[in-house]
Chain A
Amino acid sequence: MLLDAQGLTKDFGGLTAVAGMDLAVPPGSIVGLIGPNGSGKTTLFNLVSGLLRPDRGRVLFKKHDVTGLSPHRIARMGLGRTFQIPALFRKMTVQENLWVPAIDEPWEAMRRRAAEWLEFFRLMPLRDEPAEVLSGGQQKVLELARALMRDPDLLLLDECTAGVQPAMVVELLEAIRRLRERGKAFVIIEHNMDVIQDLCEQIVVMHEGHAIARGDLGAVKRDAAVVEAYLGR
């Protein structure tokens, strides 16, 4: 397993956001993480990426126990992520946003790779604009490009297609598929079921902080617990 999170639990002063959650991601796979709002998906990302420390449970990444390590250490091991609301460096330019993750590399290599991703995601004309002037969709795309600058082996994408224009979504999905062919793995939080169906071989449904169903889309759709979680009894 590339990522193996076991029994993760996080309590916010009486509110248990994540309760005994397991998540396993094989190398080169795409796992879809779905569930109603407030079911703990984003908290799970925060626990895995190190922004939050779990109360119980542990995170194994590339067979190393990374529980409680600071986020930058985990990032340097090859784990990247994006945020539900794009967390860009707003006053820095589009290309500077891409430089930051690779800033310790030689300048030339850093600039070249940033230019490649700018080209790839069609952000080249905007490279000298401050990130804050980009549209919501462009910000999502820029954030993904920025996460890719570190060449991570696993990417956690939090609603990466939300607000992105349909034509760009198609390209985004194509990009994710191509990146997977290069051996990268993804966990994606997504509300768009077409995207989930299109990309994911495995789907995990979260509800009240833990997984209530796992499998392909057809299987989880038929699962009684899932139907109940989404629609109520």
Chain B
Amino acid sequence: MRRLRLPALAAFLLLTLLAPLALGPFWLRILTEILLWVGLAVSWNIIGGYTGYLNFGHGAFFGVGAYVTAIAMVEGGLPFGAGLLLAGCASAGLAAFIGLPTLRLRGAYFAIATWAFAEMIRQVALLLEVTGGAFGMLVPVLLHPEFFYYTMWGAVAGTCAITYGLMERSRMGYKLRAIREQEEAAETLGVATTRLKLAAFALSATFPGVLGGIYGYWTTYIHPDSVLTGSVTDQMVVMVLLGGLGSAVGPILGAVLLQGVSRFLWIQTEQSVLYIIFIGLVICVVVQFVPDGLVGLVARFRRRGRRGTDAP
């Protein structure tokens, strides 16, 4: 299985690169959205998977990125690329600022604190003048550039996935997993837990910031209820849990599946409420039957199969 991993990855990358040539604009758009969600889910997994800190305010970084980029372009007259750079930095900086008090909390308390933080950001965006308040913001339009967004999100999602993968065998990765398993023990063994958690949190926040910046440019109109709504976070969380928390492939799988189903239901029924119901069902099933996600399920079956062949 391990030997198959590299060829599989290469085939996947090649397919992703060639897809736009074969697809019409409609399917390319759907694939583009899937890439966005892959990036978001994998970034959530950086803090959630490695350290076990479940961030229920991750969507806020997406929204902040979207607004920072939009403001930089509209108010500051900066080019798109500079806006993205600012978006990434702003998200990371905000994460470090928020993380300092909240990363001392554990379990449900951290989840509640981050959820409240995201809600606060949404309220601020509704109030400020520079964000357009409840009117939202118009972003300059780039004409018919589906391929542009496909590659942009693909690059960011790919970078995020590679970052996650590289961390697995890195010093930081080992330390973060030690924190997840037993934070106090890690502390007494010389691991500077607070600093590491902050670094992981800031790193995981950078990606949604950049992805959000691209999103604003893509939809050309952003509003607190579109980019700062709690459902952005909810979907990321469900995607990761469905695929497998703390695994490299899981969140990618979860994002492709869920976003695929979302678009399928929308095409079939032209209603988005069915998707919400579907998400609810997925949460129930995952929590009850597959707590380790699809990746964990596969591992379980494989183990059972091996035990079967070992028997005399």
Residues of A within 8 A of B (CB): 49-51, 70-72, 74-76, 80-81, 83, 87-92, 96, 99-101, 103-104, 146-147, 149-150
* Contacting pair A83 B178 (CB below 8 A): no
Chain A contacts for B189, CB-based, 8 A: 72, 75, 80, 100-101, 146-147, 149-150
B interface SS class: helix
Q: A146 CB to closest chain B CB, in angstroms?
A: 7
Determine the distance from Cα of A191 to Cα of B284 in the docked complex, in whole angstroms.
47
Which residues of chain B from 175 to 225 have any CB-CB distance to chain A below 8 Å in the complex? 175, 177-178, 181-182, 184-194
Chain A contacts for B178, CB-based, 8 A: 89, 92, 100
Assuming A51-B188, A75-B187, A150-B190, is B174 touching A103 (CB within 8 A)? yes
* Contacting pair B187 A70 (CB below 8 A): yes
Assuming A89-B182, A104-B171, is B188 touching A75 (CB within 8 A)? yes
* Contacting pair B184 A103 (CB below 8 A): no
Q: List the 7 closest pairs (A to B, CB-CB), nearest first.
A: A89-B181, A87-B185, A71-B187, A101-B189, A75-B190, A100-B178, A87-B182
Chain B contacts for A96, CB-based, 8 A: 174
Which residue of B174, B175, B182 is within 8 Å of A88 (Cβ)?
B182
Q: B279 CB to closest chain A CB, in angstroms?
A: 28
* Contacting pair A80 B175 (CB below 8 A): no
Q: What are 6 sample pairs from A and B whose C-beta atoms fall under 8 A apart? A: A72-B189, A74-B188, A80-B189, A81-B188, A101-B190, A103-B171
Q: A157 CB to closest chain B CB, in angstroms?
A: 13
Determine the distance from Cα of A51 to Cα of B186 in the docked complex, in whole angstroms.
11
Which residue of A51, A99, A103, A147 is within 8 Å of B187 (Cβ)?
A51
Chain B contacts for A50, CB-based, 8 A: 187-188
Determine the distance from Cα of A83 to Cα of B189 in the docked complex, in whole angstroms.
12
Q: A142 CB to closest chain B CB, in angstroms?
A: 12
Chain B contacts for A76, CB-based, 8 A: 190
